[in-house]
């Protein structure tokens, strides 16, 4: 009877002990059966089912709430964390709890570094706080907007797709800058020396470099008493200029014809034949640009639609002088209509680059090289360079008026598509006299 009483007492005691939680995990993640480490069973006694159920219940709870620290297996469902904050990110590091990812708000999360937000991602894009540096290629499907520190000034950069055709302003030539505007310093009228009728004439001058025609000068006017009037013009030289254009009109800002006197800084308008055109309206017809490999490509005129698939690359090799005219030539005409002067001319085959035509003195000719009028005072000789039926350049000389006598024109630039072209020189005199072109050679270069 006594043994039975003792067993009952022990059983009661075990049942009472089993009500205490005997399995748990501490803050470091270590699991133990009891806080004291003593297992609550006594050898030689009966094991209570209530006690074992409590132990297994605690074990199953802790295992369910566990993720393998050694990477055994992955999550079978989304891993969810609290939002966290910029000072305590939800995803951080053991050795740096103030850096990591956290949720800012709806569809908005950020990256914190040392408890400071450096990046923010939303449904509309990314915001970077601080300096953004890229060591590789930065590609953007849309526009890239650059702001100053106060966000007051912005620059929007958009990468166009040449294959679909976009509007681009192309350079007139590689490695050459467009000419600056000369200063038209004087426009002095005269009642003699020309064929201008009585009127007020308005003038502008522009310079031409290998990069094309630059901005025209300011405007000057001159009141002429006709019908034998003329206007003497002078302007400042422009660095890099190879020739100039003199525009004339009969209204302010309405210049509609022009002359090409060559690489000079003075010109007398006597009312001779002129080209049609206004300042800024005449441009090179085939400018060039570089492709990604550094080769030249031919394009269209500035502001035109450009499709990269139509651009034909050509090498950047140095081309030799082509089509040089040899021998000493001396030709003249008494005709009052244009006639071809002797065998002056040159033929060149181009790949699409601008062509430069140069008149050079022939030292073996025995005379003074250039173009001039040999008649009596007041006679005017007009000369022009033609490519097929197209006038490429035109100038005049007059007895007793022309500053450079004989006149040797500067380089003439002509932009043409690929092909073979022949340039000739024509001349005429007005109203009588003799137009002379002598002791020169002609050379054409592809730039």
Where are the chain's structural domains? 2-64, 81-129, 165-317, 329-446
- Token code pair at residue 147: 């702001």
Which candidate, 389, 390, 399, 406, places its Cα nearest to that of 440? 406
- pTM strictly above 0.85: no
Residue 290: which H helix or E strand, with range? Answer: strand 288-290
What percent of the chain is modeled with pLDDT above 70? 66
CA distances from 160 to 157, 167, 256 (A): 10, 9, 37
Residue 397: which H helix or E strand, with range? Answer: strand 390-398
Contact (Cβ atoms closer than 8 angstroms) between residue 434 and residue 333: yes
Per residue in 148-165, pLDDT (tens digit) is: 655 555 555 555 544 444
- E-state strands within 27-159: 31-32, 91-93, 96-105, 108-113, 116-122, 125-128, 143-147, 154-158
A 10 A CB-CB count for 89 gives 25
Q: For strand 24-25 and strand 31-32, is the pairing parallel, antiparallel, or unpaired? A: antiparallel
Mean pLDDT value across the chain: 73
Length of the chain: 447
CA distances from 49 to 8, 18, 55, 117 (A): 15, 9, 10, 55
Contact (Cβ atoms closer than 8 angstroms) between residue 132 and residue 123: no
Least confident of 108-122, 229-243, 290-304: 290-304
DSSP 178-224: PPPPP-EEEEEEESSSS-BPSEEEEEEEEEEETTEE------EEEEE
Q: What is the mean pLDDT of residues 304-309?
A: 40
What pLDDT is attached to residue 2?
39
d(CA 21, CA 61): 12
What pLDDT is attached to residue 407?
78
Q: Identify the three-state secondary structure at position 163.
A: helix
Q: What is the mean pLDDT of residues 324-352?
A: 75
Higher-pLDDT residue of 327 and 152 is 152
Instruction: Give how far the C-alpha of residue 41 lies from the chain's centroid of Cα atoms, to the nearest Å.
Output: 85
What pLDDT is attached to residue 91?
87
What pLDDT is attached to residue 307?
41
Q: Does residue 51 carry a pLDDT above 70?
A: no
- Token code pair at residue 311: 């651009």
Q: Does residue 131 carry a pLDDT above 90?
A: no
Contact (Cβ atoms closer than 8 angstroms) between residue 256 and residue 221: no
What pLDDT is attached to residue 249?
95
- Computed from CA positions of residues 371, 374, 377, 382, in that sequence, does the dihedral angle turn out positive or negative? negative
Per residue in 372-421, pLDDT (tens digit) is: 887 766 788 888 898 888 999 888 887 655 444 577 788 888 888 888 88
What pLDDT is attached to residue 18?
40
Least confident of 242-246, 253-257, 286-290, 421-425: 286-290
Higher-pLDDT residue of 145 and 245 is 245
Give the full edge-to-edge strand order of the sheet including 296-298.
288-290, 296-298, 313-314
What pLDDT is attached to residue 305?
39
What pLDDT is attached to residue 430?
83
Residues in a beta bridge with 97:
none
What percent of the chain is modeled with pLDDT above 90? 19
Which candidate, 47, 18, 52, 21, places its Cα nearest to that of 34? 21
Residues in a beta bridge with 352:
none
Per residue in 28-46, pLDDT (tens digit) is: 666 666 544 445 566 777 7
Least confident of 53-57, 101-105, 357-361: 53-57
Q: Which residues are within 8 A (CB) of 232 and not within 5 positions of it... i.e. 6 or more apart?
A: 186, 187, 188, 190, 266, 267, 268
Q: What is the mean pLDDT of residues 186-194?
A: 91
Least confident of 68-82, 188-202, 307-321, 432-446: 307-321
Q: What is the mean pLDDT of residues 250-269?
A: 90
What pLDDT is attached to residue 328?
52
- Token code pair at residue 388: 């097929």
Least confident of 188-192, 223-227, 352-356: 352-356
Architecture of the domain defined by 329-446: Sandwich (2.60)
Higher-pLDDT residue of 175 and 106 is 106
DSSP 213-277: E------EEEEE--SSBEEEEEE---TT-SEEEEEEESSTT---EEEEEES-SEEEE-S---EE-
Least confident of 92-96, 225-229, 374-378, 414-418: 374-378
Q: What is the mean pLDDT of residues 276-302?
A: 50
């Amino acid at each position: 009877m006594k043994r039975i009483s003792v067993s009952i007492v022990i059983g009661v005691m075990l049942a009472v002990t089993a009500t205490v939680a005997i399995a748990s995990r501490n803050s470091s993640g270590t699991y133990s059966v009891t806080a004291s480490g003593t297992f609550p069973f006594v050898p030689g006694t009966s094991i209570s089912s209530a006690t074992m159920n409590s132990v297994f219940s605690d074990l199953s709870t802790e295992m369910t709430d566990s993720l393998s620290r050694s990477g055994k297996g992955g999550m079978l469902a989304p891993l969810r964390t609290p939002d966290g904050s910029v000072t305590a990110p939800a995803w951080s590091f053991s050795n740096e709890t103030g850096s990591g990812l956290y949720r800012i708000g709806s569809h908005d999360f950020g990256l914190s570094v040392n408890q400071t937000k450096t990046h923010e991602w939303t449904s509309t894009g990314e915001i970077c706080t601080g300096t953004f540096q890229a060591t590789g290629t930065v590609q953007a499907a849309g526009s890239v907007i650059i702001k100053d520190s106060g966000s007051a000034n912005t620059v929007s950069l958009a990468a166009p797709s040449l294959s679909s055709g976009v509007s681009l302003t192309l350079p007139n030539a590689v490695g050459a800058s467009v000419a600056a505007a000369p200063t038209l310093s004087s426009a002095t009228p005269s009642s003699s020396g020309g064929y201008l009728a009585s009127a007020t004439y308005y003038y502008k001058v522009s310079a031409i470099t290998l990069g094309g025609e630059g901005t025209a000068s300011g405007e000057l006017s001159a009141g002429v008493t006709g019908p034998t009037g003329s206007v003497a013009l002078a302007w400042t030289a422009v660095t890099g200029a190879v020739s100039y254009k003199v525009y004339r009109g009969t209204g302010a800002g309405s210049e509609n014809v022009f002359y090409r006197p060559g690489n000079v800084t003075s010109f007398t308008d006597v009312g001779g034949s002129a080209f049609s055109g206004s300042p800024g309206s005449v441009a090179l017809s085939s400018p060039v640009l570089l492709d990604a490999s550094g080769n030249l490509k031919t394009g269209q005129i500035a502001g035109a639609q450009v499709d990269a698939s139509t651009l034909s690359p050509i090498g950047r090799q140095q081309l030799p002088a082509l089509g040089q005219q040899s021998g000493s030539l001396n030709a003249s005409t008494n005709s009052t209509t244009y006639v071809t002067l002797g065998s002056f001319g040159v033929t060149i085959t181009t790949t699409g680059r601008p062509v430069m035509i140069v008149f050079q003195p022939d030292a073996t000719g025995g005379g003074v090289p250039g173009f001039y009028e040999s008649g009596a005072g007041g006679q005017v000789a007009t000369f022009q360079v033609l490519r097929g039926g197209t006038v490429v350049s035109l100038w005049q000389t007059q007895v007793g008026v022309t500053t450079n006598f004989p006149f040797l024109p500067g380089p003439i630039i002509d932009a043409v598509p690929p092909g073979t072209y022949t340039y000739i020189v024509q001349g005429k005199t007005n109203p009588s006299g003799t137009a002379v072109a002598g002791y020169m050679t002609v050379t054409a270069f592809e730039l």
